[in-house]
Amino acid sequence: MLELSRRSWKPVFDGFEPNIPDVAYASYYPKGCQVRQPTDLRAVLRDEQHNVSVAIIDEIVVGWVCVRIHPEDQMGEIYVLAVDPMFQRRGIGSKLVNHAFDVIRSAGMKMAMVETGNDPGHEASRHTYESAGFKRWPIARYFKSLV
């Protein structure tokens, strides 16, 4: 699933660094995003197995989603969504999102949330979420170097 995620997000990470303020990129990804991403995902798969659902076609893992529940906000969060590039544009991402909605509803939550980038590499992700009925929350996140 780590390799699937790497392939899935390669277009994002190929153009990621130029779209992030230098200080933020250096803080979040001191060894580069291709190093941090698998480390973060290993932790999700190790520590949150109960939150992970997998899409399988012909015994091949083609996508996965991780849902986190935030009862204090009456909200479920789609924390990770990845679909193998060879299986993209077949509705698998939408099915995983709808499955996440079912998980969130069954936990008694009133709202679903997902966060994604505003850079060109995340355009397909934004389209998937907007097609699923998500509405963008206008937020601006700023970074300033203090060194």
pLDDT in the model for residue 119: 79
State the pLDDT at residue 72: 97
Which residue has better confidence, 94 or 144?
Answer: 94
Of 120 and 57, the one with more pLDDT: 57
Contact partners, residue 54, CB within 8 Å, separation at least 6: 1, 61, 63, 64
pLDDT tops 90 at residue 9: no
**Which pTM was predicted?**
0.86
Helical spans, DSSP H, in 33-91: 33-47
* Each residue's pLDDT tens digit, 72-101: 999 999 999 999 999 999 999 999 999 999
Q: Is the pLDDT of residue 63 over 90?
A: yes
Q: Supply the pLDDT for residue 4.
A: 92
- How far apart are alpha carbons 71 and 139 in whole angstroms? 22
Q: Is 109 helix (H, G, I), strand (E, B) or coil?
A: coil
